[in-house]
Amino acid sequence: MGILEVKNVGKRFGGLQALSDINLSITQGTVHAIIGPNGAGKSTLLNCLVGKLIPDTGSVSFEGKSVLGRKPHEINQMGISRVFQTPEIFGDLSVMENMMIPCLAKRDGAFSLQAYHALLSDREIVDRAEHMLEDMNMADKRNMHAAAMSRGDKRRLEIGMCLAQEPRLLLLDEPTAGMARADTNNTIDLLKQIKDSRPITIAIIEHDMHVVFSLAEWITVLAQGTPLVEDTPDKIKGHPKVREAYLGESAEH
């Protein structure tokens, strides 16, 4: 029984069957990569896991509890955090404020009306956010406008914000898309370090095979909305079906 169980999930957009009969089990404490060519349904699947889309059929459960019908913020409060393809941060706020928001969300829940006491006198939150920034090696950027940072730093901040909530499952949607090689390698190192330092499960959707084979312990290959194969990275590398799906060539070639 995995931390996240996806059973018979299907999703249709008009005439397009985006996902059909997906079964997936993510094992606690592993890095599970979901790969597949463009249009394979990776992002649709991810959106079904976090409550942005509701699948037409099937079930999704996290730690034995169904996530279907719950709103994104409720699913997040259950312990699933999501990192987006383009870093989603609070661009108008400072880096420090960006980090304080998930700390508040973790402590006070989805809504709390604290309109009178000063934010900066809340030592618990300030200390926690500073601690997280140091963890992410961003302490020197705390007063910067988040929007003014480089893409790599935004990604680092976004991951840090997710970790501040101490999620049990971290979902990453192409975390290195559009990044320079150096930033990509930094992100890989960061994720490895995260994995080694805490009991977290990571599910990663990725295009870049370099990233996938650097991190993943288990890989599911999606093609045309349905799982093609799943196996360890070593087995996936030489799998004829995968080559076919990716390169559009038949196995005989």
- Which residues are at the interface with another protein (CB under 8 A)? 50, 71-74, 76-77, 81-82, 84, 88-94, 96-97, 100-102, 104-106, 108-123, 125-126, 130, 134, 139-140, 142-143, 145, 158, 161, 165
Per DSSP, the three-state class of 191 is helix
* CA–CA separation, 215 and 76 (whole Å): 24
Q: How far is the CB of 15 from another protein (least distance, A)?
A: 28
If the CB atoms of residues 145 and 151 are measured against another protein, the closer one turns out to be: 145
CB of 242 closer than 8 Å to CB of 234: no
Whole-number minimum distance, CB 89 to another protein, in Å?
A: 6
Smaller CB separation from another protein, 140 or 249: 140
CB 4 within 8 A of CB 25: yes
Question: 76: closest CA among 49, 53, 56, 45?
Answer: 49
Looking at beta carbons only, is 68 or 126 nearer to another protein?
126
Is 25 in contact with 203 (CB distance < 8 Å)? no
The neighbour count for residue 54, using CB atoms within 10 Å, is 13
**Smaller CB distance to another protein: residue 88 or 249?**
88
Closest of 80, 2, 85, 87 to residue 48, by C-alpha: 80
Smallest separation, CB 167 to another protein (Å): 9
In angstroms, give the least distance from the CB of 176 to another protein: 19
Give the shortest CB-241-to-another protein separation in angstroms: 34
Compute the least distance from the CB of residue 76 to another protein, in Å: 4
Residues 170, 143, 91, 51: what is their CA dihedral angle, to the nearest 10 degrees?
A: 20
In terms of CB distance, is 18 or 75 closer to another protein? Answer: 75
Task: List Cα–Cα distances, 69 to 23, 59, 64, 74, 79, in angstroms.
Answer: 19, 10, 15, 10, 16
Which residue, 118 or 182, has its beta carbon nearer to another protein?
A: 118
- Enumerate the H helices of 5-94 as residue ranges: 42-50, 72-78
